[in-house]
Structure 1
Amino acid sequence: MLTFEDVLAAQDRVSATARHTPLDYSHTFSAMTGADVHLKLELFQRTGSFKIRGATNRIATLSEAEQDAGVVTASAGNHAQGVALAATRIGVDSTIVMPEHAPISKVRATRNYGGEVELSGQDYDAAAERAHEIERAEGKTYVHAFDDWQVMAGQGTIGLEIAEDLPGVDTVVVPIGGGGLISGIATALKGKVDDVRVVGVQAEGAASVADSLQKGEVVARDSVETIADGIATRKVGEKTFEVIQERVDEVVTVSDSEIAVALTTLLERGKTLAEGAGAVPLAAVLEERFDYADDETIVPALCGGNIDLNMLTNVIMRGLVETGRYLKLRTVLKDRPGALERLVEVLTEYDANIYAIEHDRTSRDIAMNDAEVELDLETRGHDHVATIIDGLEDAGYEVEILV
């Protein structure tokens, strides 16, 4: 079992490479929740993720022969960058297998840090199978992304920093993929702070821990589907599951829509960019997925900021839709002069700002003398959306909401 002493031992090794990241009080999220919210901004870490900590600690403990043989790992992106940088810093060759559809930005960054990248498989688990083939064929040391005591100990140094910067912390909220991060943080906090609560959060589309805890053994999902690619694993680790059972107080889930709202709110109000997995703890706090008291001191651990720009565009759009800030609708007009102008006048009356209009006379779904119109609208919330829809229907339009 991972011990508090393991995390303390990792601190000196990790501090040579990783930054002590900020712990900032958030007026915005404290006001929104009624709690005393402090954001652990691990997304400002080197490589943009906490993974550099565990990778550094693991590679620092390799024997000379293991260092000469090199290391291999599998990763959706953040662990890849951590291993590549940690290995390059001490002159160790690294091979990283990433899923075929890993974000381009993470693939490029891993190569820039000195790692040799191979793309294989549809998800992390498939990539891991290929990485183990390389391990056996070439005699490299496999650096597991999470199910390794030294990796967990390295990640746990985040917990030591939280305890140092905020000794009165009541609850720390941590994302769970394979479980290495929360195992390390929980071990550090439970060894350092009295009566601290550790809450784990998974994306609904990759939530294996709740079933595993209920059955008392690791349960794997057949597949995963979530915008939080950093925690998109089919199952938690065997070693990490032991720690979670013993030291994590509660595990909850959030939907992709809730993650998108948290990410866009953090970006707009907190001026801070997180990736999907990084925003998961904040989503759990904002959606009150666990009970907390007014003025309770809560630390969401925002542990990753590496988001692909294409994904960011999609997530922002999802967040705007979920908060009533964007509306896409369809209606049908008579194909005659002034019909479109009249529609625009109605929208103007209800203060809808038009992003785009698509006007189509040729659709097979409408009558010969009709025209189909799709509109993208900027709106100011769900009440505003409802007012616009009611106004259009009162003016005689049949409206279909597309997004």
Structure 2
Amino acid sequence: MAQVNEIEPTWNILGDSFPKQYEVPEEVEKKPKAENISKIKLKLQDIQDAHNRIKSDVVFTPVIEAKYVGKNFCNVFLKCENLQNTGSFKARGACNILSSMSPSDKSKGCTVSGGRNYLSAMTYYGFKQSVPINVIVPKDCPLVDKHTYKENFAIVKVHGNDLNDASLHALTYCDEIGSNYVHGSDRLDLIAGYGTLGLELLTQMDKMDAILCPVGSGGLVASLVLAVKSLKPNCLIYGVECSAAPTMTKALQEKKPVMIQLNPTIADSLSTIIASNNAFNIVRGYLDRMITVDEVWISRAMINILEREKMVVEGAAACPVAAVMAGKVPELRGKNIVCVLSGGNINSSRMSRVIDRGMAAEGRLVKFSVALPDVPGAMAKLLAKVTDNGADVKSFVPERAWMRRDIFTVNMLIETSDIHHAKDLEKKLLKDYPHSHFIML
């Protein structure tokens, strides 16, 4: 990777000519105050030092041009952190933390608790650097995750019903055994490691108008703000959150990190109850825009990346692509946009559910219920009409136990090519089966 020369940070946020409707809401303070600037302890030099420290131990992940995302609207490029060691950008932060530790601290080992991607990264680099890692997980931690940590020779202990219980116990446990407690989000050395992604982007993209980055606690987007805005101040940086956990959006509105009510989401690694203090102090006044996307668009983005770009990504990583697909960035028409695919760690059962949800959201999976006369050939006739119209029958369940006279119900799951095909099929079937019922998302 080419050496990035340090320059004094300069900040050029949206000018007056930028369309008003696309700016950060007025209640979010855009111009930083002096006291806010003084809180930013992380410097560009820290990120450059992190790059020199970890460059031989992390993957210089590729940037590829998307084949279909944003087609006829903008030029979308994908920064593939799903191809990083341990499958996410968290590897950069974990590697920088452990590489920065003194031999004495390394010998004491580390105690960690947190999200799956962070723990995978810490145990992976702990093994590579011969640092003992103790992992504290709650009772509901998936077996596959615990197996991954143990494969990296970490000691895994189960405590509590949720992540909060596990994290509190980790603090007590590290004192008992004399190890270092390594927090999984609000650390400057962690953010510095993440920032190496931004330095890579600057060497990979000659023309880069905007970066769309997933936001959970805010460490990754904060690192990009500092690294990229310092060296390419005109590049827009947008944070993208899931609507179920708008942590940074709420923090910017309230002008401080605040706890939010979480809701279930496909993008579970973005499900953070409060934004990181350090991340908030970096992005406040410098982040160009925050965007939220709902579950349907996240599912559709994951399906699009799987089928069109031939990559598996987790829900969080799909959020930037979801923002483009949902038409959330009309001001970027014709621009070169980088979507950060932050990770690709998703288990097979969840991926299966996401595929079904995404296909349903696109009108490619349709539920169909119809009343049929209990006479020979009725079901065969129905199936023929469906298949003759180019649809595939995924499931077919007749329910004769609830027959009324000589009428019974058939529930079908049908795969179509798209929403237009589904609507056309519905119209044709309703002519022959007027009492049928279609369900589309």
Query: Normalised by the shorter chain, which TM-score bucket?
Result: over 0.9
Which residue, 223, 227, 238 being the options, matches 2:266? Answer: 227
Alpha-carbon displacement from aligned partner over 1:56-100 (angstroms, at most 9, x marks no partner): 111222233322221112222111111001111221111223344
Which structure has the highest helix share of the two?
Answer: 1
Residue 15 (structure 1) aligns with: 55
Shift of 1:121: 4.9
Equivalents in 1 of 2:59, 2:319: separation in Å? 22
2:135, 2:155 within 8 Å by CA — same for their partners in 1?
Answer: yes
Alpha-carbon displacement from aligned partner over 1:357-392 (angstroms, at most 9, x marks no partner): 1112113xx525322211111101111111222222
Does residue 115 (structure 1) correspond to residue 154 (structure 2)? The answer is yes
Work out the percentage of aligned pairs sharing the same amino acid: 27
- Alpha carbon RMSD of aligned pairs, Å? 1.9
Shift in alpha-carbon separation, 1:311–1:336, aligned structure 2, 3 A: same
Which residue, 88, 103, 106 being the options, matches 2:145? Answer: 106
Counterpart residue identity of residue 269, structure 1: R
Unaligned runs of 5+ in 1: none
Which residue, 391, 394, 401 being the options, matches 2:428? Answer: 391
Equivalents in 1 of 2:70, 2:289: separation in Å? 22
Equivalents in 1 of 2:244, 2:141: separation in Å? 17
Map of 1:2-401 to 2, 5 A cutoff? Answer: 2-32=42-72, 34-121=73-160, 123-363=162-402, 366-401=403-438
Equivalents in 1 of 2:91, 2:400: separation in Å? 56
1:124, 1:233 within 8 Å by CA — same for their partners in 2?
Answer: no
Equivalents in 1 of 2:113, 2:245: separation in Å? 18
Equivalents in 2 of 1:36, 1:187: separation in Å? 24
Alpha-carbon displacement from aligned partner over 1:246-271 (angstroms, at most 9, x marks no partner): 43211111111111100110111111
2:262, 2:271 within 8 Å by CA — same for their partners in 1?
Answer: no
Unaligned runs of 5+ in 2: 1-39
Shift in alpha-carbon separation, 1:58–1:224, aligned structure 2, 3 A: farther
Counterpart residue identity of residue 260, structure 1: S
Equivalents in 2 of 1:259, 1:159: separation in Å? 24
SS in 1 for 2:349: helix
Aligned length: 400
Shift of 1:302: 0.4
Counterpart residue identity of residue 329, structure 2: F
Shift of 1:232: 1.6
SS in 1 for 2:284: helix
Equivalents in 1 of 2:298, 2:89: separation in Å? 19
Equivalents in 1 of 2:336, 2:404: separation in Å? 61
Counterpart residue identity of residue 54, structure 2: V
Counterpart residue identity of residue 112, structure 1: E
Alpha-carbon displacement from aligned partner over 1:293-329 (angstroms, at most 9, x marks no partner): 3321110000101110001100011111111111122
Equivalents in 1 of 2:132, 2:267: separation in Å? 29
Shift of 1:30: 4.4
SS in 1 for 2:358: helix
Shift in alpha-carbon separation, 1:123–1:3, aligned structure 2, 3 A: farther
Equivalents in 2 of 1:401, 1:101: separation in Å? 37
Equivalents in 1 of 2:181, 2:439: separation in Å? 47
1:76, 1:98 within 8 Å by CA — same for their partners in 2?
Answer: no
1:104, 1:308 within 8 Å by CA — same for their partners in 2?
Answer: no
TM normalised by structure 2 equals 0.86
SS in 2 for 1:162: helix
2:245, 2:271 within 8 Å by CA — same for their partners in 1?
Answer: yes
